[in-house]
Amino acid sequence: MESRRRTSRCGPSVFSCVLLLCLQPKFSLAGDCPADGRTWVPFKDKCYYFVHGEEDKIKRYTFDRAKSLCQGFELLTVQSAEENDFVIKYSPEVWKGNVNVWLGMYYDTNSDNMRWFGEDPVQFTKWEDSTSQSNLVPLDICVTLHSSTGKWENVSCLNDVENGVVCEASRKPSALLSTLVILSVVAIMGISAVIWFLQQKHNHGSSIFTAFEYHPPFRVLETDQSCLVEAEETDYAA
């Protein structure tokens, strides 16, 4: 009973450690940004490309042109205050002066709410105190982010308004990182098996090997054979 209790205490701790080690690569290994010749800036699980002209001057584009520049990726989407702050802090390193940046957002007539182009609901917002414009119809509403304040503002999509462009892409694990993760999991499973085996050996002593001992087939002992021979000789003499 004591050995069983000891096993029950040790078992969960071992497998908890193994579980943590298995989950760790998912959080510690980051993926790669697109390798298309443009300068992508990594931040958390995304990469960002700040479209700029010569001498780091801001180039402004209409909303339709902005979408075409980010074809294959997404216009900037902001899912948290931390991501919003990242855009504000990094913009001066790319552009000279303050600029408004297009957000990849549109007005969904089915829900009467703004949605991201990736169809994700808008959970984080940072609107200015007054974002409504009476002269804008719902289908004409686009949104920009002020790089100086981080506030969001409703603007027209159709009046040839030009703003800065930031493209966005998800970071994808590289082949090398995927291989390292697989090898790490295999190694962890092997180590956990060895630890379990040693624990069983320690808790049960040599009894773990008892079931695997070799027992030869039944053999008649030599003393029994001699008794049988003597009995046969006695019967023959009689």
Together in a domain, 165 and 110: yes
Q: Which residues, at least 6 apart from 158, have a Cβ–Cβ distance to it below 8 Å?
A: 140
Residues 169-206 have pLDDT tens digits of: 998 765 555 566 577 777 788 898 888 777 777 776 65
Backbone angles phi, psi at 53, to 5 degrees: -100, -155
Is the C-alpha dihedral spanning 93, 52, 131, 46 positive or negative?
A: negative
- Measured from the Cβ of residue 163, the count of other Cβ atoms closer than 10 Å reads 20
Look up the CATH number of the domain holding residue 37. Answer: 3.10.100.10
- Higher pLDDT pick, 151 / 189: 151
Together in a domain, 165 and 180: no
Together in a domain, 215 and 160: no
Together in a domain, 56 and 162: yes
Together in a domain, 201 and 98: no
Together in a domain, 102 and 159: yes
Question: 188: domain range?
Answer: 2-24+175-237
Q: Based on the structure, what is the number of domains in the chain? A: 2
Given the structure tokens 């090997």, which residue do they identify? 209
pLDDT of residue 64: 93
Q: How far apart, in whole angstroms, are the C-alpha atoms of residue 93 and residue 81?
A: 20
Together in a domain, 74 and 104: yes
Together in a domain, 200 and 165: no
Instruction: Mark which of 153, 170, 187 sits at the end of a domain.
Output: 170
Together in a domain, 160 and 56: yes
- Measured from the Cβ of residue 48, the count of other Cβ atoms closer than 10 Å reads 21
Instruction: Mark which of 119, 147, 170 sits at the end of a domain.
Output: 170
Mean pLDDT taken over the chain? 75
Together in a domain, 141 and 186: no
Q: What is the 3-state secondary structure (H, E, C) of the chain?
A: CHHHHHHHHHHHHHHHHHHHHHHHHHHHCCCECCCCCCCCEEECCEEEEECECHHHCECCECHHHHHHHCCCCEECCCCCHHHHHHHHHHHHHHCCCCCEEECCEEEECCCCEEEECCCCECCCCCECCCCCCCCCCHHHEEEEEECCCCCEEEEECCCCCCEECEEEEECECCHHHHHHHHHHHHHHHHHHHHHHHHHHHHHHHHHHHHHHCCCCCCCCCHHHHHHHHHHHHHHHHC
Q: Which of 44-58, 69-83, 213-227 has the highest mean pLDDT?
A: 69-83
**Among candidate residues 114, 153, 156, the one with its CA nearest the CA of residue 130:** 153
Together in a domain, 191 and 145: no
Instruction: Mark which of 170, 186, 207 sits at the end of a domain.
Output: 170
pTM of the model: 0.61
Together in a domain, 77 and 123: yes
